[in-house]
């Protein structure tokens, strides 16, 4: 599991857009502030635009601005839009295969860890992160040992192939 540099830079650019409000932010200025090459910032802009998170306005006075309410999009949503779902291990990937999945004692741990991280990052909106609000939430089931089978049941999450 890794948060890519591209995702890190995308989140930094999005934080600038949250602070700018409805004002357009030039990709060149964003690239300079984040410290990335302009071409890389353009690639990030294209991906965020394609995901429907920002809108791009072309032209001399163009730029980008948020298309979504920062209170309504989670940090996890942005991560998935930029780099795809987080996977703790190859065997938890959407099409992950492992010959030991049915008998591996660690597979449910990886599934549970993935669920915990997903739940945590989904509880923090882009607005929460930018305003430094310190109240991410994790479902109480993660503190209940008896609930482990519920959230780490790979057969419910991935289908019968890993039951």
Residues 54-107 have pLDDT tens digits of: 999 888 888 999 999 999 999 999 999 999 988 888 888 877 777 777 778 888
Closest CA to 78 of 11, 28, 138: 11
Question: How many angstroms separate the CA atoms of 112 and 148, rounded?
Answer: 7
24 burial level (CB within 10 Å; 0-12, 13-18, 19+): middle
Beta-bridged to residue 55, according to DSSP, are 65
Domain that holds residue 48: 5-66
Number of separate domains in the chain: 2
Angle at 24 between CA 21 and CA 28, to 5 degrees: 125
- Are residues 101 and 44 part of one domain? no
Predicted local distance difference test score (pLDDT) of residue 11 = 96
Q: pLDDT exceeding 90 applies to what percent of the chain? A: 48
Residue 71 lies in a domain: no
- Are residues 91 and 36 part of one domain? no
- Are residues 60 and 92 part of one domain? no
Which residues, including other chains, have CB under 8 Å from residue 163's CB and lie 6 or more apart? 102, 154, 155
Question: How many angstroms separate the CA atoms of 38 and 58, rounded?
Answer: 15
- Residue at a domain's end among 66, 94, 113: 66
Question: How many angstroms separate the CA atoms of 72 and 3, rounded?
Answer: 21
Confidence label for 158 from pLDDT (cuts 50, 70 and 90) = very low
Per the CB < 8 A criterion, the answer to whether 55 and 67 are in contact is: yes
Residue 146 lies in a domain: yes
Predicted local distance difference test score (pLDDT) of residue 157 = 44
Per the CB < 8 A criterion, the answer to whether 79 and 7 are in contact is: yes
- Between 35 and 89, residue with greater pLDDT: 35
Per the CB < 8 A criterion, the answer to whether 56 and 64 are in contact is: yes
Residue 72 lies in a domain: no
Name the token pair of 124. 């923090």
């Amino acid at each position: 599991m890794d948060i890519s540099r591209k995702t890190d830079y995308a989140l930094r650019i999005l934080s600038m857009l949250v602070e700018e409000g409805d004002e357009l932010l030039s990709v060149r200025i964003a690239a300079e502030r984040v410290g990335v090459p302009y071409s890389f910032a353009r690639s990030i802009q294209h991906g965020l635009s394609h995901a429907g998170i920002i809108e791009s306005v072309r032209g001399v006075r163009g730029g980008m601005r948020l298309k979504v309410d920062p209170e309504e999009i989670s940090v996890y949503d942005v991560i998935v839009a930029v780099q795809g779902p987080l996977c703790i291990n190859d065997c938890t990937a959407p099409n992950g295969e492992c010959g030991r999945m049915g008998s591996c004692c660690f597979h449910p741990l990886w599934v549970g860890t993935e669920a915990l991280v997903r739940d945590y990052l989904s509880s923090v909106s882009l607005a929460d992160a930018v305003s430094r609000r310190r109240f991410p939430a994790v479902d109480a089931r993660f503190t209940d040992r008896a609930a482990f089978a519920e959230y780490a049941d790979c057969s419910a999450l991935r289908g019968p192939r890993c039951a």
